[in-house]
Amino acid sequence: MTFLRNKHLEFIKNLENSTEKESFATEHLKTSAIYWAITTLDILDCLDLLDQSEVIKFILACQADNGGFGGNIDHDPHLLYTLSAIQILATYDKLDLIEPEKIINYVKNLQTEDGSFKGDEWGEIDIRFSYCSISILSILKSLDSINVKSAIQYIRRCQNFDGGFASVPDGESHGALCFCAVGSLVILNGLDYIDCDKLGWWLSERQLPIGGLNGRPEKLQDVCYSWWVLSCLRMIERDSWINKEQLISFILSSQDTEYGGIADRQGDIPDIFHTLFGVAALSMLGHNKNEFEEVDPRYCMTTRVTKRLDL
Ligand code: GRG
Ligand code: ZN
């Protein structure tokens, strides 16, 4: 199957008005849904498809008094949505519209004694929140405001004997959490502290005979792991350990030929989350090079953006 570029652009354009689940109307994660959409557009070199001033107006309205951003207007702030908001502003080159100190303070106050991060004031701890904090502070050039040493120590404690990473120490290894760990460590220059061969082995075991990758043993293949797992393999320079042609075919087979968009796997309903990670993975896999902007595996933004920010 070929890459259905125009269909996907149509799919994204329709998200603006759609009331379907997983559209922008999905109330509680609208901020992240917009990040998934505009990053897809940036990879396809079509950032202008959505109204930039509308998006920015909405994002700025999601900021809470404590500096963090919510998933929608008047929703409680959370690190997940704060990262999405910063990524959107970074992509549009509009970081000058926010007060960095407020956001830096918000993030740094969520770091705990052992180096981990809470997602918000309610206190759930997860390696995802380490990644969000580290990515945000790196974009804002303020990594010195947290305890980097203990942040690295905590992430190391999340690596299991099988080589994979879990959300907390002694949890189950998961492909998406490997991305959070490795992305954080690469940004912090801490990759030397972990066993990359063991990790690479566990990650490459994620490819199934059908070509797609799963997130953990015994689970089904899913397009989003094409990003989580492949970006990780790329960061540890072991992406040759999987079969790229088979993975490309799997992603292309998960496209919705009628309405556009990419689903988790063939036959399922497409959504903007899997559309981004499918498109980002195709870019990283070098599929039709002239059709895709290059993506930075550390940040899941185009290298055009991360280079401009000197990251
Ligand atoms: C900037 C790209 C980017 C990300 C920011 C939010 C975030 C950092 C990462 C999210 C990572 C993620 C999706 C974690 C999910 C972890 C997990 C244990 C998922 C299990 O989900 P199931 O059981 O899926 O629905 P499987 O595929 O395991 O059956
Ligand atoms: Zn998925």
What ipTM was predicted for this assembly?
A: 0.96
Q: Whose CA is nearest to atom 5 of ligand 1?
A: 132
Mean pLDDT of 42-54: 97
Q: Is 300 in the pocket of ligand 1 (CB under 6 A)?
A: yes
**Structure confidence by residue, pLDDT tens digits, 228-279:** 999 999 999 999 999 999 999 999 999 999 999 999 999 999 999 999 999 9
Tokens 């797609």 belong to residue: 212
pTM of the predicted protein model: 0.97
> Above 70 in pLDDT, residue 23?
no
- The reply to whether ligand 1 has any atom less than 6 angstroms from the CB of 219 is yes
CATH class of 5-17+26-308: mainly alpha
What pLDDT, on the 0 to 100 scale, is given for residue 29?
A: 87
Secondary structure of the chain in the HEC alphabet? Answer: CCCCHHHHHHHHHHHCCCCCCCCCCCHHHHHHHHHHHHHHHHHCCCHHHCCHHHHHHHHHHCECCCCCEECCCCCCECHHHHHHHHHHHHHCCCHHHCCHHHHHHHHHCCECCCCCEECCCCCCECHHHHHHHHHHHHHCCCHHHCCHHHHHHHHHHCECCCCCECCCCCCCCCHHHHHHHHHHHHHCCCHHHCCHHHHHHHHHCCECCCCCECCCCCCCCCCHHHHHHHHHHHHCCCHHHCCHHHHHHHHHHCECCCCCCECCCCCCCCEHHHHHHHHHHHHHCCCCHHHCCCEECCCCEEHHHHHHCCC
- Ligand 1 centre distance from Cα of residue 165 (Å): 12
Is the pLDDT score of 17 beyond 90?
no
**pLDDT tens-digit readout, 110-120:** 999 999 999 99
The residue-averaged pLDDT of 197-215 equals 98
Which atom of ligand 1 is found nearest the CA of 219? 29
pLDDT at residue 19, rounded to an integer: 58
